[in-house]
A = this chain, B = another copy of it.
């Protein structure tokens, strides 16, 4: 299975069908992806502090699918870009993503990512924080080299949205008052902001017409939201492919869309159950089964799936505003592929 998850991208990736659409896209754009990887390797170096490339390499060479830079390359090519500005831009997008992962793992106190120990475990939190800062700075330098202030504007705004979404998650995650609009903001920060920026800047660098740039942004946004909803769903639904156990989010007291939907329809007794298990974190034997029963009772999983499918459709609809092209077809296939995990 495919694509892009902050927590287990490569675990998913390793099981990917060779004909998965992002794999096809990667093959189609192989020379450019190679160029992106070369830029990443050069720019993650540090003349003075060898720990920087060590930490970065641990994460960046761990077999992630590089879906975000792939989206940037695809968007630029789809809009007819024939220069090489998109290469640096794609590398910048991957650096921002990697910086986010490094900081995420400190914030979440994670020990594992992509089936390997996290950098914060192998080195320490300090290194993860500072190397993340370094990569973010290097990302901005790469963007400057593309000569486009608009690109810098889009990606600095996306970086702010990412951090804002994470802060929001920090304060909202265990608060039963969290509703669907707040969830959507968190998801946009967590996943969709960088997806939509990645596709949008591809169009910008290609000097595409504004309506195409809008379409690319909408595609990335909807794809990111759809992906995250599927991921939150699979946590309860279960899937061999994610490498995660059913109920991880429940045990970690994460207020994701299925639970938000069940809480919205809860009676007093059910509300007390969610308050105890999620807000207070007082979880006992049998609670996960009870949670699953409540999710089913209120059709929360079914409704979450329906929303994920709607966002996938929104992503594909956005593509109709872009030129017909094999790349466009593959981007559509990716939107299908994301939700195929719950079909």
Contacts and interface: CB of A to CB of B under 8 A. Distances in A.
User: Which of A127, A131, A164 counts the most B-chain CB atoms under 10 A from its CB?
Assistant: A164
Given A51-B171, A140-B156, A156-B144, A164 B126 contact: no
Interface of A: 46, 48-52, 103, 106-107, 125-127, 129-134, 136-138, 140-141, 143-144, 147, 149, 152-153, 156-157, 159-160, 162-168, 170-171, 182, 185
Given A51-B167, A167-B49, A140 B159 contact: yes
6 contacts: A46-B167, A107-B129, A137-B156, A140-B159, A147-B149, A149-B152
Contact of A103 (B129, B159, B160): B129
Contact of A134 (B144, B149, B153, B163): B163
Q: Which 7 pairs, one residue from A and one from B, show the smallest C-beta to C-beta distance?
A: A137-B159, A140-B156, A134-B163, A137-B160, A133-B163, A49-B167, A107-B126
A136 B136 contact: yes
Nearest to A157: B141
A308 B320 CA distance: 65
A189 to B, nearest CB: 8
A159 B144 contact: no
Given A130-B166, A141-B157, A144-B156, 11 more contacts: A50-B171, A52-B167, A103-B130, A106-B129, A107-B130, A127-B167, A131-B163, A132-B133, A134-B163, A138-B160, A144-B153
Contact of A48 (B129, B131, B168): B168
A52 B166 CA distance: 11
Given A131-B163, A162-B133, A140 B168 contact: no
A285 B340 CA distance: 67
A164 B138 CA distance: 11
Contacts of A163: 130-131, 133-134, 137
Contacts of A156: 137-138, 140-141, 144
A130 B167 contact: yes
B141 A149 contact: no
A125 B132 CA distance: 15
B152 A134 contact: no
B46 A164 contact: yes
Contact of A170 (B130, B138, B143): B130
Contacts of A170: 51, 126-127, 130
**In this complex, which of A106, A137, A141, A152 has the most chain B Cβ atoms within 10 angstroms of its Cβ?**
A137
A131 B160 CA distance: 9
A133 B52 CA distance: 18
